[in-house]
Structure 1
Amino acid sequence: MLGWALVFAVLAVLAGILGFSALAGLAATIAKVLFVVFLVLLVASFIIRAIRGQSVV
């Protein structure tokens, strides 16, 4: 998921450079959403592993 967020971030930068502002805005929004979802799932995974008594790292 983090990989997809990076792909959309790069797409947003390239679209911005080429002047496609609507596409750049959409790609940037998608990248932000995917990054937030990635962070939420990462934190949830850490919490669940800590509750189960497994190593978090």
Structure 2
Amino acid sequence: MNGADCSGTFPTPRHHAGDRERILGAGMNEHIAKPIDFTRLERIISRLTPG
């Protein structure tokens, strides 16, 4: 990947304790659990995308 950042948002089917920490620790940039809060998803996408 030539040092480029590979952003990722990882939806999980249900929230379990420690999911967010485990997913972020694996290198993803964000985590959102289902049911998806679309307002939060929009904020995440805005933060992770340029411009």
Same fold judged by TM-score > 0.5? no
The structure that has the greater radius of gyration is 1
Q: Normalized per residue, which structure has more helix?
A: 1
TM-score by length of 1: 0.33
Q: Normalized per residue, which structure has more strand?
A: 2
